[in-house]
Amino acid sequence: MGARTVVLLRHGRTEWNVAERLQGQTDVALDDVGRWQADESARALVRTHRATRIVASDLGRAMETAAAYARMVGLDVVPDARLRERAFGEWEGLTGAQIAEGWPERHTAWRRGDDETGLPPGGETRAEVAERVRGAIEEHAAGLERDDTLVVVSHGAAITLAITAMLGQEPGWRGVVGLTNAHWSQLTRAPLGSQPSWRVVAHNVGAAYAPAAWHAGPDTGAEQESDTAGMSAG
């Protein structure tokens, strides 16, 4: 039947996250705050979930985030290119303002979720990403036992679209808020024959820091509130 529990973890912060540049499949490394977030997230996640298998996008920011957790549970990280972020083609590295200036009509369509007229030049559709990432998650989960836990480390849009697909929704559905850096979502497999086949148990959970402290990083004087807590993506 496969693993009943799947945890989807977003990578820690990068310089492009701070600059609000579209990363896509450009291999941007974690910044200092992102590495701290990865470590803090790993400490929080290990208290509630001990993975049987850890798989991650092969992009550096995801692999480094996965490695922080893997060290705590004594496992290796399995890289899988299917877990990469959505490819945004010519828009990668640009800010929203730059995209709006260069492709005003296409940017407007993209913002409203129109994949037909709002597709980034050279990029992937939401449907393509949803199927790619969902397929990888399902395949890795199927190779485990029912009581096992699969931890998947990926990217913001990729995770949102995968969850949407696993809940049986169309790619344009916007019922799932994006994850904060180094936060996770937990899904559980539904009873046999139930639809959808997966259910969300918890979403956007992370180490219990106030949002401002989490984004600012260590040495801010902020105290951690508790072991784990859900946080808004903001």
Question: Which residues belong to the active site?
Answer: 11, 85
Question: What's the length of the chain?
Answer: 234
- For residue 15, give the nearest of 61, 59, 62, 58 by alpha carbon: 61
Q: Distances in Å between the alpha carbon of 47 and those of 22, 134, 190, 207?
A: 32, 26, 24, 11
Backbone angles phi, psi at 50, to 5 degrees: -110, 110
- For residue 7, give the nearest of 59, 40, 61, 53 by alpha carbon: 53
Q: Distances in Å between the alpha carbon of 207 and those of 122, 171, 188, 226, 229?
A: 36, 29, 21, 8, 6
Helices (H), 29-184: 32-48, 60-73, 96-102, 104-111, 126-142, 156-166
> How many angstroms separate the CA atoms of 136 and 176, rounded?
20
Q: In sequence order, what are the residues at sequence separation of 6 or more whose Cβ sits closer than 8 angstroms to the Cβ of residue 103?
A: 91, 121
